[in-house]
């Protein structure tokens, strides 16, 4: 902790950058909050004086953002894995949504800092949306989703981001026991919603009538699915 770092050799000044990032990440994960991420604490853990941080980061904000961005590569890998895990693009989309949620809940502090604050995380958000658009586009291509992929992706992204961000930001809220199941519900509902919204007219039939149609549709798909399963 308080052990002074041996000064880097000439030309290796950038080594400190990585050590600072590691120290900051440790602090963030250990304490579970970015409030513990003071420049003094980070520098102390890196075995370096406080202003040395400014040799590699413009200000505290830049350090925090850089730390949180470190985990963002994982998201790309998780998405790729989820997308490749299954031939059917609609099922793959669902897995992507679940993978996204897992990623966010695995890195709650980083997710909150980058996604729930103004003036940070624009790049991270762009990456999220880009991945979403990719998974959605495959569904549009096969016709199960209809509409502009951007718009659809934003709607799906909103749903899953909303769910996990509530979990993260309101940890003491009496959520249902099985969060996994709730995420599943949200992802499925968002997917179905995306499939429906551009197929239904703007002027909806009255609820009772719509309910009947929905019942009928649901029953037909269910029986056909069961029949196929028996084959």
Q: Which of residues 22-41 bind DNA (CB under 7 A)?
A: 37-41
Counting Cβ atoms within 10 Å, is residue 90 exposed (0-12), middle (13-18) or buried (19+)? middle
- Ranges within 36-55 binding a second copy (CB under 8 A): none
Which C-beta is closer to a second copy: that of 18 or that of 209?
Answer: 209
Q: How far apart are CA 188 and CA 182, in angstroms?
A: 10
Under the binding rule (CB under 8 A), the answer on residue 33 touching a second copy is yes
Site for a second copy in 186-215 (CB under 8 A): 186, 188-197, 199-201, 203-211, 213-215
182 binds, options a second copy, DNA, none, Cβ within 5 to 8 A by partner type: a second copy
User: Does residue 1 bind DNA (CB under 7 A)?
Assistant: no
Smaller CB separation from DNA, 59 or 209: 59
- CB-CB contact of 115 with 124 (8 Å): yes
- Does 90 help bind a second copy (rule: CB under 8 A)? yes
CB 82 within 8 A of CB 98: yes
Ramachandran angles phi, psi of 149, nearest 5°? -55, -40
Q: Which is nearer to a second copy, 41 or 155 (CB)?
A: 155
Say how many C-beta atoms besides its own lie within 10 A of residue 123's C-beta: 12
**Residue 138 contacts residue 92 (beta carbons within 8 Å):** yes
- By CB under 8 A, is residue 60 in contact with a second copy? no
Cα–Cα distance for residue pair 34/109, rounded to 1 Å: 7
Enumerate binding residues for DNA (CB under 7 A): 4-5, 7-16, 37-41, 43, 48-52, 54-55, 59-61
């Amino acid at each position: 902790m308080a052990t002074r770092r041996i000064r880097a050799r000439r030309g290796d000044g950038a080594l400190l950058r990585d050590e600072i990032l590691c120290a900051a990440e440790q602090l963030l994960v250990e304490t579970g909050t970015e409030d513990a991420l003071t420049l003094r604490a980070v520098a102390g853990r890196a075995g370096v004086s406080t202003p040395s941080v400014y040799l590699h980061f413009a200000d505290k904000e830049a350090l925090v953002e850089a730390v949180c961005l470190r985990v963002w590569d994982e998201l790309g890998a998780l998405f790729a894995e989820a997308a490749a895990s299954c031939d059917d693009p609609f099922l793959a989309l669902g897995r992507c949504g679940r993978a996204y949620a897992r990623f966010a809940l695995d890195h709650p502090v980083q997710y909150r800092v980058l996604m729930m604050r103004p003036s940070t995380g624009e790049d991270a958000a762009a990456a999220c949306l880009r991945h979403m658009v990719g998974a959605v586009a495959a569904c549009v291509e096969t016709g199960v989703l209809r509409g502009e992929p951007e718009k659809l992706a934003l709607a799906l992204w909103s749903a899953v981001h909303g769910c996990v961000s509530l979990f993260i930001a309101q940890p003491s809220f009496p959520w249902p026991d099985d969060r996994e199941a709730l995420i599943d519900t949200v992802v499925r509902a968002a997917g179905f919603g995306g499939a429906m919204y551009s197929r239904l007219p703007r002027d909806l039939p009255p609820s009772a009538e719509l309910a009947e149609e929905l019942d009928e549709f649901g029953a037909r798909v269910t029986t056909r699915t069961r029949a196929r399963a028996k084959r």
